[in-house]
Amino acid sequence: MKKQLLAILLLISPALVLANEGGANLDKAQIDPANQESLQRGARTFVNYCMGCHSAKYERYNRLARDLGISETDVIDNLIFTGAKIGDTMKIGMQSKDAKKYFGAAPPDLTLIARRRGADWLYTYLRTFYLDDSRPFGVNNKVFDKVGMPDVLWELQGWQKPVYETVTDVNGNKHQKLVEVKLVRQGTQSPAEFDRTVRDLVNFLTYMAEPVKLQRQALGVKVLLFLFVLFIITYLLKKEYWKDVH
């Protein structure tokens, strides 16, 4: 029986490993991919604040309508500002070579960004821009040092200042280390409201990076349940067969 138990544990271990991902010093995004209202708010923030520079060229507007539970007319009225048609992908007008000239780095397409960076990184990144006079746009970022992106959400969040700590390395040299960023002037949203705005936005970015994730996970659970039931039946059957032999 121990062996069977081990087999089951091995079967579900990938799920346990995946549940454990995420790095040090990142704030937890705690997104809820099943919450459609959160995804809708995230989509709205995305088209309003991000699509000036970033495209999402592997996502179509009509797919967005279907997955987020909004009508195509609502998408056309509230989410399309680029003159695109409902069947188009979420492209933008800015050319990447022009963007490179303006910002020093081209803003990457964001359809798959959540797969590369993970939700916690994005959640931390979008909330930790801080004032830094040495940078071209006057801001730097806690998890993306010398970032080329301006602090586009500053009106909502307000301004933040860095807090440093002096640390001594193994050679006895002292360094200034950024430990946190502190709000010095609040924007139009309170810190809790702003966290929610960013959580919704990250939820949306995560959805875009893997639109079928919810279905896939639901299917996975069903498959595991099926295997479990099958295991019990097989085990009883085996007992029945071998009953007379012993």
Residues engaged in binding ligand HEC (CB under 6 A): 49-50, 52-54, 103, 105, 107-108, 110, 113, 117, 122, 125-126, 147-150, 152-153, 201
Output the residue with the shortest Cβ distance to ligand HEC. Answer: 50
**Shorter beta-carbon distance to ligand HEC: residue 65 or 92:** 92
**Shorter beta-carbon distance to ligand HEC: residue 45 or 72:** 45
How far apart are CB 18 and ligand HEC at their closest, in Å?
21
**Shorter beta-carbon distance to ligand HEC: residue 140 or 181:** 140
SS (H, E, C) the chain: CHHHHHHHHHHHHHHHHHHCCCCCCCCCCCCCCCCHHHHHHHHHHHHHHHCCCCCEEEEEHHHHHHHHCCCHHHHHHHCCCCCCCCCCEECCCCCHHHHHHHHCCCCCCCCCHHHHHCHHHHHHHHHCEEECCCCCCCEEECCCCCCCCCCCCHHHHEEEEEEEEEEECCCCCEEEEEEEEEEEEECCCCHHHHHHHHHHHHHHHHHHHCCCHHHHHHHHHHHHHHHHHHHHHHHHHHHHHHCCCC
**Shorter beta-carbon distance to ligand HEC: residue 52 or 211:** 52
**Shorter beta-carbon distance to ligand HEC: residue 39 or 201:** 201
How far apart are CB 207 and ligand HEC at their closest, in Å?
13
How far apart are CB 131 and ligand HEC at their closest, in Å?
17
How far apart are CB 50 and ligand HEC at their closest, in Å?
3
**Shorter beta-carbon distance to ligand HEC: residue 108 or 211:** 108
How far apart are CB 12 and ligand HEC at their closest, in Å?
32
Token pair recorded at residue 67: 């997955």
How far apart are CB 63 and ligand HEC at their closest, in Å?
19
